[in-house]
Amino acid sequence: MLKDKLKDKTAILGVIGLGYVGLPLAVEKAKAGYTTIGFDIQEDKILKVNSGINYIGDVINEDLKKIVDNGKLRATTDFSEVASADAVCICVPTPLDEYQQPDITYVRASAESIVPYMHKDMLIILESTTYPGTTEELLKPILEKSGLKCGVDFFLAFSPERVDPGNLIYKTKNTPKVVGGVTKQCTDIAATMYENILEAPVHRVSSPAIAEMEKILENTYRNINIGLVNELAILCNKMDINIWEVIDAAKSKPYGFQAFYPGPGLGGHCIPLDPYYLSWKAREYGFHTSMIESSMMINDRMSEYCAERSSKILNRFKKSVNGSNILVLGVAYKQDIEDYRESPAIEVINELEKLGANVMYYDPYIFEYKEHGKVKNGLQELSSDALKHADLVIVTTAHTNVDYNYVQENSQIIFDTKNALKKVKNRENIELL
């Protein structure tokens, strides 16, 4: 029985997709004692994993090398090896298409790649964030093309990934897991796997749709609250009120308030995208998610607003944004990581360049980034000359390894969208979002 194999760790586990979610999960499976196979279509990832070379910030280099060397983890592009796996987790991207609608191409392709190699007692878990209904409406019919019946011959569940890149406290290993299976037995077997891998509680729910909606709720909650403070930041600027001081005062209340902070927009693969998945699905039921869509609109516009504010700041010093030299500090979507997926800082750069500004950037984690096939190179170091040369310095990511006193001392004007310079005493040349 599969449950027994999971408990005694003789089960072979597979992970499809070796990115920010899949590789850390594969590493934890192997560290827990399971023989683990990673699948990906990108040959460079396969070569790196099999050589014990890490490319994900949340994975410890020594951990990866050790489990590869002892044979507990290997990677392949050959999906026929799925046949040897007892349980497979799908951890592939779920982006938006050009019309801002869910693109589940990777999920569909992963499921179809599994079908020819499915066998009885196999467990399949989708971890990719998606709209409620994906597991049962899309995945289940595809997998049943194998001739096996879900809940009888194989087991299917949804368990949303909760990866927070750069989080020093909560990693894959110690973050609580939510699991919802198509049947009670599906839930039980999927939960058993995670319970033997993680050092965190596994929360069982009654269906995949509950688990799918739960993940959307997590990220929509953050999206809406950030949208609220972004809107208040715009209003407070008009009213000459410091929004950062307002939030600090509000969070002195020990109950009923959770602090969220404004910024140049939302970044990363989840929070900016997930509400679109829910809004799209809601239309199937004739329901308009007005609050969600309002927050998305506000957050999406923040990069443009920051460019407009930059122009106004320059105008006050009798400078035009057109032809000005602007230095952007930080292109990662959040502090202290090298991930720039959906980064609002890049959108700020794009908006400024549309206005005719000469924009350079510095990020201690990202020395170049690619967008639409083009490479933009950043500064290799943050020199006093680079700061002094800039007509305006814009802080878009609050990296903690940047000396902000040094930035203040060498800059003409600073537009701080993240309150990164809050501890700097001389504030004569600092303007906050």
User: Is residue 151 classed as helix, strand or coil in its secondary structure?
Assistant: coil
Cα R_g (the chain), whole angstroms: 24
User: Is residue 352 classed as helix, strand or coil in its secondary structure?
Assistant: helix
CA distance 28 to 9: 13
Task: Annotate 302-338 with DSSP letters as a single string.
Answer: HHHHHHHHHHHHHHHTT--STT-EEEEE--SSSTT--
Beta strands in 255-408 (DSSP E): 325-329, 358-362, 368-371, 374-377, 392-395
* For helices 61-69 and 22-31, angle between their N-to-C axes, nearest 10 degrees: 60
- Give the residue from 107, 71, 104, 101 showing the smallest Cα distance to 89: 107
CA distance 413 to 119: 64
Q: Please, which residues have CB within 8 angstroms of residue 383's CB and are 6 or more apart in sequence?
A: none
Question: Which secondary-structure segment (H or E) carries 90?
Answer: strand 87-90
Task: Give catalytic residue positions.
Answer: 270
CA-based end-to-end distance of the chain? 58
User: Structure tokens of 21?
Assistant: 């979610």
**Left, alpha or beta for 312 (phi > 0: left; psi -120 to 50: alpha)?**
alpha
Residue pair 392/359 in contact by the 8 Å Cβ criterion: no
User: Is residue 108 classed as helix, strand or coil in its secondary structure?
Assistant: helix
CA distance 322 to 47: 46
Residue pair 3/189 in contact by the 8 Å Cβ criterion: yes
* Residues paired with 370 in a beta bridge: 375
Say which residue the tokens 């090298």 belong to.
338
Residue pair 236/246 in contact by the 8 Å Cβ criterion: yes
* For helices 290-316 and 274-283, angle between their N-to-C axes, nearest 10 degrees: 140
**177-181 and 122-126 strand pairing:** unpaired
